[in-house]
Amino acid sequence: MPECSEMENNLDYCSCTYEPCPRKGNCCACIQYHNNKGEVPGCLFDEKAEKTYNRSRKYFLQTQS
């Protein structure tokens, strides 16, 4: 995984609660990972929805209505 020069700053704003995630704070890697899986990164969900760890695009759209 490529290094991120903004990782420490990103950690201040990262709302992902999945603690063993190796991409936490590395937004570029996180977005690429979830996009490749057809998912949406946790930071785009509200707090309650993020905690379900359901990152599907379908679920994301459901949370937006």
User: What is the distance of C-alpha 62 from the center of its chain?
Assistant: 17
- Would you place residue 32 in the very low, low, confident or very high pLDDT band (cuts 50, 70, 90)? very high
Burial pattern 22-40, b for ≥16 Cβ within 10 A else e, equals: ebbbbbebbbebbeeeebb
Domain count for the chain, please give it: 1
- Would you place residue 1 in the very low, low, confident or very high pLDDT band (cuts 50, 70, 90)? confident
User: Is 14 within a domain?
Assistant: no
* Cα 16-55-14 angle, rounded to 5 deg: 15
Q: Which domain holds residue 57?
A: 27-65
Per the listing, tokens 């785009």 go with 44
User: What is the distance of C-alpha 50 from the center of its chain?
Assistant: 9
Q: What is the pTM of this model?
A: 0.87
User: Is 6 within a domain?
Assistant: no
